[in-house]
């Protein structure tokens, strides 16, 4: 198949490259879309211990930025829903800031952490699990999850129904115009596919379905009546834990992880001044 329908603008996306899965690019809005699918066996080459070491400080720092923006928009006496809560770090930050937020998560790998920290997590897939709230939620947030979902039209319709009239949809996700994605594309053209495969997470059970930029994400949400109220960039790497984050992929050897860590340290000044690979966007229900 050489074309598919772009989920953002409805144009015909054309085949851009083939890795473990095919990836298409829309010539109109620039959205990258893969033909990957979720592996319901939940088996992948992801090592959770190294991943947590490599991500925890970065995520908590970034969540603090999002919390500050959320408080400015809605205050603290609010209720929220996180879709794809994973390890529960966002819920923990909300708890520490007096914000009432529950989570929904398909996996139980982090259930012990959820229970030990008194986090409210429902297990299953949204919107199949009934987490309706009378009057709707003040906010619904995705933290590195939105890009993993195939049926975006069905998803956004459900989100709109679950938000209250002044509700805010917050989407925190990787960007296709960031330093690492552009570098991976360059390496792909030179015949090195490993880095692009890793960014798309094609070796994990929950691969990326789409890679957005600010314009096509906004176009998608506008089509469903959401209006963007704010956006900002977030840090995409914590240089103190890069080796552990790289080692989260069990297919990468220790020697290669050491080499990549060294390269990233050398490129640190360039990375810090380049477009960020993570953006967070705030949309008001229209």
pLDDT tens track for 159-185: 999 999 999 999 999 999 999 999 999
To which residue do tokens 């960031």 refer?
178
Looking at residue 54, which CATH number applies to its domain? 3.40.50.150
DSSP state, 148?
Answer: G
Domain of residue 61 covers 3-285
Contact criterion met (CB below 8 Å) for 203 and 174? no
pLDDT at position 125 is 96
Instruction: Evaluate if pTM is beyond 0.85.
Output: yes
- Residue 175's φ and ψ, nearest 5 degrees, are -115, 145
Q: How confident is the model at residue 286 (pLDDT cuts 50, 70, 90)?
A: confident
How many domains would you assign to the chain?
A: 1
Q: What is the mean pLDDT of residues 248-256?
A: 63
pLDDT at position 54 is 54
pLDDT digits (tens, 9 = 90+) for 61-81: 999 999 999 999 999 899 999
> Strand runs (DSSP E) across the chain, as ranges?
3-5, 12-18, 22-25, 32-34, 79-83, 100-105, 121-123, 137-143, 163-174, 210-211, 226-234, 278-285
Torsion of CA 37, 39, 42, 45, to 10 degrees: -80
Q: What is the mean pLDDT of residues 112-116?
A: 97
Q: How confident is the model at residue 50 (pLDDT cuts 50, 70, 90)?
A: very low
Query: CA 132 from chain center: how many Å?
Result: 23
């Amino acid at each position: 198949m050489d074309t598919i329908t772009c989920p953002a603008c409805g144009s015909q996306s054309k085949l851009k490259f083939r890795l473990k899965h095919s990836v298409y690019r829309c010539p109109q809005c620039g959205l990258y879309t893969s033909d990957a699918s979720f592996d319901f066996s939940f088996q992948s080459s992801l090592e959770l211990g190294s991943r947590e070491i490599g991500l925890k400080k970065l995520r908590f720092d970034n969540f603090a930025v999002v919390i500050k923006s959320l408080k400015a928009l809605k205050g603290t006496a609010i209720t929220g829903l996180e879709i794809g809560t994973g390890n529960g770090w966002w819920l923990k930050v909300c708890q520490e800031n007096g914000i009432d937020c529950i989570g929904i998560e398909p996996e139980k790998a982090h259930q012990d952490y959820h229970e030990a920290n008194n986090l409210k997590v429902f297990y299953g897939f949204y919107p199949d699990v009934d987490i309706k709230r009378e009057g709707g939620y003040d906010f619904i947030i995705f933290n590195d999850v939105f890009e993993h979902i195939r049926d975006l039209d069905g998803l956004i319709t459900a989100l709109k129904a679950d938000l209250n009239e002044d509700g805010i949809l917050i989407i925190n996700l990787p960007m296709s115009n960031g330093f690492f994605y552009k570098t991976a594309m360059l390496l792909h053209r030179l015949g090195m596919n490993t880095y692009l495969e890793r960014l798309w997470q094609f070796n994990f059970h929950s691969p990326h379905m789409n890679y957005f930029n600010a314009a096509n994400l906004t176009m998608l949400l506008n089509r469903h009546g959401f209006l963007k109220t704010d956006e900002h960039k977030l840090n995409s790497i914590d240089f103190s834990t890069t080796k552990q984050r790289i080692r989260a992929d069990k297919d990468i050897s220790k020697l290669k992880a050491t080499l990549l860590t060294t390269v990233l340290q050398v490129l640190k000044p360039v990375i810090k001044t380049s477009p960020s690979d993570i953006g967070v966007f705030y949309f008001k229900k229209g």
